[in-house]
Amino acid sequence: MSPIIVLEETIANKIAAGEVVERPASVVKELVENSLDAGADSIDIEIREGGKEYIRVVDNGRGIPSDEVPLAFERHATSKIRSADDLFRIVTLGFRGEALPSIAAVSELEMVTRPEESPMGTLIAFSGGRRTRLESVGAPAGTAVTVKRLFFNTPARYKFLNQAASERRYVYDIVGRLALANPEVRFRLVSDGEEIFVTPGDGNMEAVIWSIYGSRVGKYLVPVYRESGHVVISGYICRPEIHRGNRQAETFIVNGRVVESSLLASAMEKGYQTMLPRRRYPIGVLTLTLDPSKIDVNVHPTKREIRLSDSSEVYKQVLLAVKHALEISIPFDPWAFPGSDETSQDADQPGFVQETLEPPIVKERSAAAVSYATSRRETESPTVHRHSSAGLSPEVPPRRTLSDAVPSQCGAAGTSPARHWASHRIIGQFQATYILVEADRELLLIDQHVAHERILYEGFLAELQTSSVKTQPLLVPLHLELGPAAAARVIEWSRKLAELGFEVEQFGVKDCLVRSVPVGLTSIAVKDLEELLLGIIAAGETSDYRHNALVLMACKGAVKAGEELTPAAMQDLVDSLLSTKNPFTCPHGRPVIVRLALDDIHRRFGRR
């Protein structure tokens, strides 16, 4: 066995680099965070070949004094903490003192920096962790860091990098998120000589959203704001008709730090419950501001993960913030018939536009949060300005403030967003599936099955929440022939099923009898009831069985497509639908109403 030795500094730095520097996007993230901690309000990022061959980050921050420049490249050298106690109240993005030496250990790095009060700047250069230059130079105030040939001295690491296009996408993603977290900072991103985006840096988060993502996302934004105890939640989420096939479009910012959090992602998705199709995920950015002592950011060298001291309360508040914001929004704009001269204004948007999103503006914060927020940077809410750059549409987003979101906490939650359709007239039924309704200056097409699903779901939910589930005893019990294993499972679940309104008892070894069902399911067939009970049990193995049960119950109890309805039945169904909290999506997240605007119909017939 070899003797124990202390590794050379260059080897130790390469090992540390493996944790901090995973890919070019990691380098960009660390350098930009250093710029933000230095108080920069303008940051330019340029990459070539996805950052594998060239990265340059230039800022107008405070710069580094000449006598401290070499020290900045020593491991665990930092200006951001002084004692172990500081780890529990971290208000900067960096604090570990690992980024610069780790990057210098696996690349050719050059830094030029000058504090505003110094007449001369300092240039320092490294190659594979060895210092090659240190001299005084003329330079503008601020810091410029250039990184070339990343992983040139660790071929095994370089081999595992993706193609330039993939690495570019990672850089676009992290710079976009950092820009969203810092709307008061002007960001400019250039890739292989092409300007990807520029943010205005005027402190307005919605303007940043439009600058980066364009109208394809921007026009569907809903503002979010909620303040409770020690946490302030603000941001923007997209209405449920816009969604993605993965969680890449969910961005969370805690005390100015972009983080990855399954807890926050779950809370946001729960707020959309019954509004999105299965295996689809929302688009949104939420900013959480809370006392730094309630957060542990010293979890991972990349600082992407955090621990919250009161995670259950934060989860609850995020869920309520999202849910209340959606309750006062009206999804699914009327269909617009495109004109012959219309083209997609976002056709030239970079691909990452479809993968991520961004946050809001906090004008008032709780006392616990204000001290942190003001110590790091102050955020104002100037007039919305749409920055036109890199082929982006110059369209200006509508002026909105957090007051648009605040009513979600006071009084609006119990009012149906379809209240402006109070006056409506049933025209008839199309294909025994869709109900045609004239409402104001719109023609509504309502899917009768999913509309009834929504009505039943909200009715079942209200009864369950008040422990007043209405049941109907059956004159003749329904006999379910299940087999020994399934029958035993149903009996095992009998107490939970009773909470939902099903009275089930064993009937021999293989069968069960159902003696009562919820009022909305009195006409259910035996086969459907068997599928329903087994479906509730199967879904309950891994998730909230009550929610899944209500969704299945609503589906089985709803009128079917192809079922003819009388005018009175259609009127009753539409009236009940428009009085629900969410008449726009069924419990599975599918749309209930398609809206056709009268003006668009006129245009289609050449009347406009």
The H or E element containing residue 110 is: strand 108-114
pLDDT greater at residue 451 or residue 211: 451
Last residue of a domain, one of 105, 138, 161: 161
Q: What is the pLDDT of residues 255-301, one digit of tens each?
A: 888 988 899 999 999 999 888 887 889 989 999 998 888 887 756 55
Please write the tens of the pLDDT for every residue from 426-444: 999 999 999 999 988 899 9
The partner residues of 439 in beta bridges, in order of sequence, read 424, 442
Range with lowest mean pLDDT among 109-123, 137-151, 276-290, 491-505: 276-290
- Number of separate domains in the chain: 3
Q: Give me the mean pLDDT over the 564-586 stretch.
A: 92
Same domain, 430 and 402: no
Which domain-ending residue is among 414, 444, 469?
414
Q: Which two tokens stand for residue 422?
A: 């109070």
Whether 452 and 397 map to the same domain: the answer is no
Instruction: Name the token pair of 154.
Output: 């660790």
Within a domain: residue 603?
no
Calculate the dihedral angle through the C-alpha atoms of 560, 563, 569, 570, rounding to the nearest 10 degrees: 80
Say if residue 397 is in the same domain as residue 449: no
Task: Give yes or no: residues 390 and 474 share one domain.
Answer: no
In this prediction, residues 233-252 reach a mean pLDDT of 88
**Could you say which DSSP state residue 157 is in?**
H
Average pLDDT of span 359-367: 34
The answer to whether position 175 is within a domain reads: no
With a CB cutoff of 8 Å and minimum separation 6, the contacts of 542 are none
pLDDT confidence tier of residue 411, bands split at 50, 70 and 90: very low
Residue 241 lies in a domain: yes
| Average confidence score pLDDT of the chain | 81
Query: Per-residue confidence at 380, pLDDT binned at 50, 70, 90?
Result: very low
User: Residues 414-436: what's their mean pLDDT?
Assistant: 80
Domain assignment present for residue 169? The answer is no
Residue 359 sits in the same domain as residue 505: no
In 339-459, which ranges are E strands?
Answer: 424-430, 434-439, 442-447
Who's near 171: CB < 8 A, 6+ residues apart? 24, 25, 28, 45, 47, 50, 51, 189, 191
Domain that holds residue 346: 202-414
Domain identity same for 229 and 325: yes
3-state secondary structure 27-63: HHHHHHHHHHHCCCCEEEEEEEHHHCCEEEEEECCCC
% the chain with pLDDT above 90? 49
Q: What is the pLDDT of residues 513-568, one digit of tens each?
A: 999 999 989 889 999 999 999 989 887 765 577 888 999 999 999 999 999 999 99
Residue 16 confidence (pLDDT) above 80: no
Do 240 and 308 fall within a single domain? Answer: yes
The residue among 563, 575, 561, 562 whose CA lies nearest residue 426 is 575
Does 189 map to a domain? Answer: no
Segment 49-106, tens digit of pLDDT: 999 999 999 999 999 999 999 988 987 656 554 444 444 455 556 545 678 989 999 9
**Quick one: pLDDT at residue 366?**
36
pLDDT of residue 299: 60
- Looking up residue 518, the CATH number of its domain turns out to be 3.30.1370.100
Return the pLDDT at 492.
92
Same domain, 207 and 150: no
Whichever domain contains 385, its CATH number is: 3.30.230.10
Give the pLDDT score at 93: 65
* pLDDT in the model for residue 196: 92
Based on the domain organization, do 239 and 141 belong to the same domain? no
Token readout for 436 is: 């045609």
In a domain, 471, yes or no: yes
Contacts of 340 (CB under 8 A, 6+ apart): none
Distance (Å, rounded) from C-alpha 203 to C-alpha 182? 8
376 with 456, same domain: the answer is: no
Instruction: Report yes or no on 54 lying in a domain.
Output: yes
- Distance, CA of 380 to CA of 360 (rounded, Å): 11
Which pLDDT value is given to residue 17? Answer: 54
Domain boundary among 366, 395, 414: 414
Asked whether residue 46 carries a pLDDT value surpassing 80, the answer given is: yes
The predicted model gives 359-385 an average pLDDT of: 36
Distance CA 390, CA 190 (A): 10
DSSP classification of residue 1: -
Q: Do 94 and 236 share a structural domain? A: no
192 lies in a domain? Answer: no
Higher pLDDT, 244 or 49: 49
**Residue 49 burial (10 A CB sphere; 0-12, 13-18, 19+):** middle
The token duo for 579 is 């009085």
Token pair for residue 486? 């399934």
Q: Are residues 395 and 510 in the same domain?
A: no
Beta bridge partners of 445: 436, 594
CB atoms within 10 A of CB 420: 12
CATH of the domain at 86: 3.30.565.10
